[in-house]
Structure 1
């Protein structure tokens, strides 16, 4: 009979995400992961085999979690298309504001992974996860833009796919600006200025 695990796998993944998203793969040590998760090294590796495997699982967990919350905002039929874009950016801004209260940026596993091509070459699953996450996010944003064009809250001449990619770029840019030291109010002004160019009012 297998020995019962001494920890919650979901809780360990949450703790791993909290470290990887801020520090990246290379600068996150096993000691950091064990401390954040509150588990011993042996327990961590019994469950996840290696740091590499834990990273892949944590990335999948992160993409599923953040993608789900963004989907909730972008699929909300009670909101106009413009309000859906506002809502998804509010998720990002709220995360950064909360992280800033603790003296750091929220970080992003997707941005960090995209900027580390060695990671994608190291494990093809990472590239597949990133590509699937981007495809889903882009599809949701395209639908929100199309909704906004129909309800008149977004400009009718906006090309949906390219506009969706522009919002993806805005999300990534906010993450990078936060890591570079831009504070919550500055980030909000950047978002409002950018989105104002897409709206009719």
Structure 2
């Protein structure tokens, strides 16, 4: 009879995400992953096969988790279009606030992966995951912008797709600035300044 696993795969994925999103793939060693996950190297390899496979699984987990929370905010029918954009930015800024209290930036697996072209070239699945994640996020933002244009909370002349991509770039920019040491209050001001230009009031 097979021995029961000594750890929760979900917990290991959470720990791997926390490491990869801050340090990226190249600067995260297997030893670091074992330490943060609290498992032995043999257990890690038995469950995931390799660091590469763990990264793929962690990226899937990250996109599902962050994408799900953003979808909840952007699809909330009790909120206006502008409030939906505020809510999704609140998620991002909240993560950065929490991370800053622990002495670092929240990081982002998507930004780190996009900025490492060799990583994307290494495994086509990474690019496919990133592309699907971006397409889903953009679609949700387009819908929220359309809602805001109809309910009057966002400017009627806003082009939905370009506005959605502006918000994607804002989110990515906030992640990069946080990694560069920009503080939470400045990040909040940047987000508010950008979003205020989209709103009617």
TM-score normalised by the chain length of structure 2: 0.99
- Where does the alignment leave 5 or more consecutive residues of structure 2 unmatched? none
Distance 1:59 1:159 in 2: 31
CA distance in structure 1 between the partners assigned to 2:101 and 2:192 by the alignment: 22
Matched, 1:73 2:55: no
Q: Compute the displacement of 1:2 (Å).
A: 2.5
Alignment partner, residue 61 of structure 2: 61
Q: CA deviation at 1:177?
A: 0.5
Deviation at 1:39, TM superposition (A): 0.3
- The reply to whether residue 98 of structure 1 matches residue 98 of structure 2 is yes
Which runs of no fewer than 5 residues in structure 1 stay unpaired?
A: none
Q: Using the alignment, how far apart are the partners of 1:162 and 1:2 within structure 2?
A: 53
Query: 2:96, 2:32 → 1: CA distance?
Result: 21
Task: State the Cα distance separating 1:4 from its structure 2 match.
Answer: 1.2
Other-structure match for 1:38: 38
User: Does 2:149 align with 1:159?
Assistant: no
Task: State yes or no: 1:191 paired with 2:196.
Answer: no
Look up the match of 1:28: 28
Q: Give the Cα–Cα distance (whole angstroms) in 1 for the partners of residues 26 and 120 of structure 2.
A: 13
The DSSP-based 3-state class of the residue aligned with 1:105 is coil
Counterpart-to-counterpart distance in 2, 1:129 and 1:119: 13
C-alpha separation in 2, matches of 1:64 and 1:170: 20
User: Post-superposition, which runs of at least 4 consecutive aligned residues in structure 1 deviate over 3 A?
Assistant: none
- Separation (CA, whole Å) in 1 of partners of 2:146 and 2:133: 20
Aligned position for 1:177: 177
Residue 31 of structure 1, CA deviation: 1.1
Quote the residue 1:121 is aligned against: 121
C-alpha separation in 2, matches of 1:124 and 1:3: 34
Partner secondary structure for residue 5 of structure 1:
coil
Q: Secondary structure at the match of 1:32?
A: helix
Task: Tell me the CA shift for residue 111 of structure 1.
Answer: 0.3
**Distance apart, 1:3 and its partner CA:** 2.1
Measure how far apart 1:184 and its partner are. Answer: 0.5
